[in-house]
Amino acid sequence: MNAHAGQSGQAFTSSRRVAAISISETFWGYIIRKGGSAAQRASLGEVSATLATMMFGVAAYCQWLLPGTIYSTEILPFKMAGTAVFFVLAFLNYTIARKGLMYETQIDLKNRVVRTARRNRQGTSSVLAVHRFEDIGSVYIRRSHSGIIADQLYVNFDDHSRPMLVASGRKADLEPLLGRMIADLAPQAGATNRQRVGNLNERPARSLFATA
């Protein structure tokens, strides 16, 4: 599933340790992603992955043209192994270049779903996971007690899926987004869910390695 959206949006300025939070409005809802220079860094990573794809592809082919080894049966197994390795590396880098490195959360108010996706520099997104509003159990900010790790905004689901990391930043930057998500998601969910959605800062901390 692909989705397209403009790159313009509201940005919440965060501290220098993390990127700003960017919100892009669409006709079906809005998209939450890192702001600041995150898009430029992701584009640079895609260009590097494209160059790496070509480099590994050429390496896989050129080793068969090395003088003195073209007809060598002793070198043949090593060439085949090397070709396989180079093709795998080329494929991995091609996937990065094609799907992009910019991860985002899509709040689809029209279809009542929350999607995680990754977007390339051409603006095309590839959906990674989809959750219905009815499956949302809570939206909360997990406070960080470290000067290195930023506060994190999560969506928790009733279907026992892993919590979805939506954004990272200072609490002051995350709270406006939290309020908007509560207002948008709570009315769409069932009555039971509505009572539970909120800023649950006092809930027991989960692992800091929980990811979207």
pLDDT tens per residue across span 90-142: 999 999 888 888 899 999 999 999 999 999 888 888 899 999 988 888 888 88
Sheet hosting strand 136-142, strand order edge to edge? 136-142, 151-157, 164-169
Residue 157 maps to a domain: no
Residue 54 maps to a domain: yes
CB 155 within 8 A of CB 164: yes
Residue 58 maps to a domain: yes
DSSP 194: H
Residue 114 maps to a domain: no
Collect all residues with Cβ–Cβ distance below 8 Å to 170 and sequence separation of at least 6.
14, 15, 18, 150, 151
Give how far the C-alpha of residue 193 lies from the chain's centroid of Cα atoms, to the nearest Å.
26
What pLDDT score was predicted for residue 35?
72
pLDDT beyond 80 at 198 = no
Residue 163 maps to a domain: no
Question: What does the pLDDT look like over 28-61, one tens digit per residue?
Answer: 999 998 877 777 788 888 899 999 999 999 988 8
What pLDDT score was predicted for residue 207?
31
Residue 63 maps to a domain: yes
Average pLDDT, the chain: 77
Residue 141 maps to a domain: no
pTM above 0.85? no
Collect all residues with Cβ–Cβ distance below 8 Å to 52 and sequence separation of at least 6.
89, 90, 93
Q: Are strands 21-25 and 164-169 parallel, antiparallel or unpaired?
A: unpaired
Bridge partner residues of 153 (DSSP): 141, 167
Question: What does the pLDDT look like over 145-195, one tens digit per residue?
Answer: 777 777 889 988 886 778 888 988 888 888 899 999 988 887 544 333 333
Q: Whose structure tokens read 């043949």?
A: 76
Residue among 113, 114, 117 nearest 104 (CA): 117
* Residues of the domain holding 54: 41-99
Residue 175 maps to a domain: no
Q: Domains in the chain: how many in total?
A: 1
